[in-house]
Structure 1
Amino acid sequence: MLDILLDAGLDSVKMLPFLYLAYLLIEWIERTRGSRIEALLAEGSRWGAAVGALLGTIPQCGFSAMAASLYGSGVITLGTLMAVFIATSDEAIPMLLAVPERWPELAMLILIKLCIALAVGLLLDLVVTRLLPAPLRGGFTGKAAAVDCHEEHEEEQGIWMAALTHTLQIFVYIFLFSAGIGILIALVGEEQFAGFLQQTGPFQPVIASLVGLIPGCFSSVLLTELYLSGTLRFSSALAGLCSATGVGLVTLLRTSRSLRQTLLVLLLLWGIGAASGLLLGTLGI
C-alpha cells in the first residue's frame, strides 16, 4: 500500500509545474481582454497540433496534463490535444534508453508516433472538427470570455494565487484517482494482464490500446516491459503507447466541459492506437 501511495504521489508531483503554467495562462486570458493577446492565441491554435506533437515526444507526462487542462478550458483545439496525447510515451522512453541494443527500435517508435500525432492532429483541426460542435472541437475563439477555468475563486485573489489554488485542487484529484487505480491493479495482478495480452493473437494491438488507456504510468511501464520480454510485438507496444497519456486522461476527466469531450477523446485514442497497431502488424513491423 505504501508503494502504491508513493508511486501515485510521484506521478502527481511530476506534473505540478506544467499544470501551474497551464492555469497561469488560463487565468491570464480570463482576466485580460487585450485584442493583441486574443489575435495571437486565435492564430496560434490553427497549427498548435505541430507544436503539441513535438512537445509530446519529450518523456514528461506533465505535458499531457497541461494539454488536458488547456483543452478543457477552451484554449487549445482537439487536434492539439490529440497530438500531445498520441506522441506521449511517458515511462517507455527512459526504459528503452536503458537498453542500448533497443535504441534503433526506440528511434522508430518515437518517429512513428510523431508522424501519427502530426497527421491526426492536423486532420482533426483542419478537416474533421468543422463537423463537430464548438464545445468538442475546443480552441480559442478570439474572445477571452470563452476561456473558463471551471473553478470559483475570490475576486481579490491575484493571478498567481488563483493558479496555485486550481493546481492544488487538480493535484489532490489526480493523486486520489491514481492511488485508486494502483490499488485496483495490485489486486488484479500484472501477471493476469500479461497472460491475457499474450493470448489475444492478431487482435493484440486492439487490447494493448485498451491497456494504454489506464491512467498513470502503469500502462506505459507494463507495455514496455512486455515488449522487452518478447510478449508484445512492436506493433502492439506502439498501439498501447499511442493511447497511453500518463495522467493526461485523469486531468481531462476533472477539467473537461462535458462528459462528451472525455468520451470522444477516449474513443479517438483507442481507435487510433488500435488502427495504427493493426496496420503495422499487417505490414510485418
Structure 2
Amino acid sequence: MMKMIIDCLLDALHDSIKLVPFLLLTYFLMEELEHHTGGKVQQRIRQAGDLGPLWGGILGILPQCGFSAAASSLYAGRVITIGTLFSVYLSTSDEMLPIFLSEKVPMETILKILAVKVIIAVISGFAVEFAYLHLIHHKEKDLDIHTVCEEEHCSCEDGALQSAITHTVKIFVFIFLISAALNLLIGYVGEESIAAIFQGTPVMGEAVAALVGLIPNCASSVVITQLYLQHIISAGALMSGLLVNAGVGILILFRLNRHWKKNLCIVGTLYALGVFWGIVIEMSGILF
C-alpha cells in the first residue's frame, strides 16, 4: 500500500514538473504583453485570433498536455479566443503518441490518427468560434493578465519574470495535488475496473470513452489507447476519448477562469463534440 502511494506521488510530481516550462513561458509572455505593449499589439492579437483555431489544431498534436495547460492560461488572460482553446483541447491527446511509438504501431496509422484529430480540431474550433460570436453574440474582453492575477491573489507589479514565477509555482502546486489525488484514486480502483466499463456498455462506447477521456490525468489517455491496441474498443470510441483528453488543461481552466458556468459549458461542449465525432467515425466505417 505504501509503495503504491509513493509511486502515485512520484508520478504526479513527474507529470507536474513537465508542465513547468510551458507555464513559465506562457505567463512570462502574458506579462510582457500586458506591461510593455499598447493597443496596437492587442488589436493584432485579436486579428490573429481569426486563424487561431488553425494554429491551435496544428500545435496541439505535439505529445503531452503542456499545450492544453498553456492554452487554458492564455484563454483565462484573454490572449486567445474560445475557438482556439477548443482546437487545442481537441487536438492534444497527452500520452497517446508515446504509447503508439513504444508499441511500434505503424507510422501510417499514427499519422492518420493525428491528421484526423487535427482536421476535427480545426473544423470544431472554427465552428465554436462562429457560434460564439455570431449566434450567441458574445465577444471576449481584451487581453488582461490582471484577470489571472486576481484569481491567484498576487501582484503583477513586481516585474514580468517574478510574476510569471509566482503564477507558475501556484499552478504547479495545484496541479500536483489534484494529480496525486487522481493517481491514488485510479491506483485504488485499478485500470482494469475502468476498462470493464467499456466492455459492459458496448453500445455507448463513444459516450463512455469521452467520459474517461475527460479525467484530467495521463492515465485516462493510457487506458483508452491501450484498450484500442487490445481491440477492446473501436476507432470511434478511441477518437471520442482522445478528442476530449485535454489533460490538466481543464483543471487550469477552472483554476484561473472565474466564470464557472462558462467553464462547465466549455467542458459540456467539449464532451458533446468528442461523442459526436466518435459516432461519425464509427458510422462512416473509418479504420486506423
TM-score, structure 1 normalization: 0.92
Q: Matched residues, percent identical?
A: 37
Distance between the aligned counterparts of 1:13 and 1:154, measured in 2? Answer: 24
Given that 1:12 and 1:175 are in contact with CA atoms closer than 8 Å, whether structure 2 keeps it comes out as: yes
**Relative to 1, partners in 2 of residues 1:145 and 1:199: Cα closer, same or farther, differing over 3 Å?**
closer
Which residue number in structure 1 is paired with residue 154 of structure 2? 153
Given that 1:83 and 1:120 are in contact with CA atoms closer than 8 Å, whether structure 2 keeps it comes out as: yes
1:89 aligns with 2:93: yes
Distance between the aligned counterparts of 2:229 and 2:156, measured in 1? Answer: 53
Distance between the aligned counterparts of 1:214 and 1:249, measured in 2? Answer: 9
Which residue number in structure 2 is paired with residue 36 of structure 1? 40
Distance between the aligned counterparts of 1:179 and 1:215, measured in 2? Answer: 11
**Relative to 1, partners in 2 of residues 1:169 and 1:133: Cα closer, same or farther, differing over 3 Å?**
farther
Distance between the aligned counterparts of 1:74 and 1:157, measured in 2? Answer: 21
1:232 to partner: Cα distance: 1.1
Alignment of 1:42-191 (within 5 A): 42-132=46-136, 134=138, 138=140, 141=142, 144-145=143-144, 148-149=147-148, 150=150, 151-154=152-155, 156-191=157-192
**Relative to 1, partners in 2 of residues 1:156 and 1:68: Cα closer, same or farther, differing over 3 Å?**
closer
1:194 to partner: Cα distance: 0.7
Distance between the aligned counterparts of 2:68 and 2:186, measured in 1? Answer: 22
1:273 aligns with 2:277: no
How many pairs align? 280
Please state whether the residue corresponding to 1:21 is helix, strand or coil.
helix
Which residue number in structure 1 is paired with residue 200 of structure 2? 199
1:33 to partner: Cα distance: 4.8
Distance between the aligned counterparts of 1:34 and 1:205, measured in 2? Answer: 46
Given that 1:8 and 1:182 are in contact with CA atoms closer than 8 Å, whether structure 2 keeps it comes out as: yes
Which residue number in structure 1 is paired with residue 209 of structure 2? 208
Q: Which amino acid aligns with 2:147?
A: D
Distance between the aligned counterparts of 1:278 and 1:185, measured in 2? Answer: 27
Given that 1:74 and 1:147 are in contact with CA atoms closer than 8 Å, whether structure 2 keeps it comes out as: no
Distance between the aligned counterparts of 2:232 and 2:136, measured in 1? Answer: 39
1:145 to partner: Cα distance: 5.0
Distance between the aligned counterparts of 2:245 and 2:202, measured in 1? Answer: 21
Q: Which amino acid aligns with 1:54?
A: I
1:146 to partner: Cα distance: 7.7
Distance between the aligned counterparts of 1:187 and 1:102, measured in 2? Answer: 34
Gaps of 5+ in 2: none
Given that 1:53 and 1:87 are in contact with CA atoms closer than 8 Å, whether structure 2 keeps it comes out as: yes
Once the two structures are superposed, what CA deviation does each residue of 1:177-206 show, in whole Å capped at 9, x if it has no partner?
Answer: 111111111222211111111121121011
Which residue number in structure 2 is paired with residue 228 of structure 1? 229
Q: Which amino acid aligns with 1:74?
A: R
- RMSD over aligned CA atoms reads 1.8
**Relative to 1, partners in 2 of residues 1:212 and 1:147: Cα closer, same or farther, differing over 3 Å?**
same
1:17 to partner: Cα distance: 1.0
Once the two structures are superposed, what CA deviation does each residue of 1:24-62 show, in whole Å capped at 9, x if it has no partner?
Answer: 122223323513322221211121111111110111311
Q: Which amino acid aligns with 2:119?
A: C
Given that 2:156 and 2:163 are in contact with CA atoms closer than 8 Å, whether structure 1 keeps it comes out as: no
TM-score, structure 2 normalization: 0.91
Q: Which amino acid aligns with 2:27?
A: Y
